[in-house]
Amino acid sequence: MTDLSSVELVETLGLPGIFDVHTHFLPPRVMAKVWEQFDTAGPLIGRPWPITYRGTDEERVQVLRGLGVRRFSTLPYAHRPGIAEWLNDWAADFSDRVPEALRCATLFPEPEAAAYVGERIAAGTELFKVHVQVGHFDLRDPLLDRAWAQLAEAGTPVVVHAGSGPVGNEHTGPTPLREVLERHPRLCVIVAHLGAPEYEGFLDLLHVGERVHLDTTMAFTDFFPELGGAFPEALLPRLVEAGDRILHGSDFPNIPYPYEHQLESLVRLGLGDDWLRGVLWGNAVRLFGEPV
**pLDDT tens column, 27-80:** 999 999 999 989 988 777 777 889 999 999 999 999 999 999 999 999 999 999
Please state whether the predicted TM-score (pTM) of the whole model is above 0.85.
yes
Per-residue pLDDT of 91-147, as tens digits, reads: 999 999 999 999 999 999 999 999 999 999 999 999 999 999 999 999 999 999 999
Contacts of 279 (CB under 8 A, 6+ apart): 216, 243, 246, 247, 248, 266
Average pLDDT over the chain, rounded to whole?
A: 95
3-state secondary structure of 194: helix
210-236 pLDDT, tens digit each: 999 999 999 999 998 766 678 999 999
Annotate 11-43 with b (16+ C-beta within 10 A) or e (fewer). eebebebbbbbbbbbbbeebbeebbeebeeeee
Half-sphere exposure of residue 286: CA atoms within 13 angstroms, side-chain side:
14
Range scoring the smallest mean pLDDT among 40-44, 141-145, 161-165, 183-187: 40-44
pLDDT (0 to 100) of residue 96 = 98
pLDDT band at 2 (very low <50, low <70, confident <90, very high): low
Domains of the chain by range and CATH?
6-288 (3.20.20.140)
Determine which helix (DSSP H) or strand (DSSP E) holds 143, and give its type and residue range: helix 142-154
| Residue 146 CB partners (closer than 8 Å, separation 6+) | 113, 114
Q: d(Cα 288, Cα 102) in Å, to the nearest integer?
A: 9
pLDDT for 19? 98
List b or e across 222-249, with b for residues whose CB sees 16 or more CB atoms inside 10 angstroms: ebbeebbeebeeeeeebbeebbebbbbb
1 falls in which pLDDT band (50, 70, 90)? very low
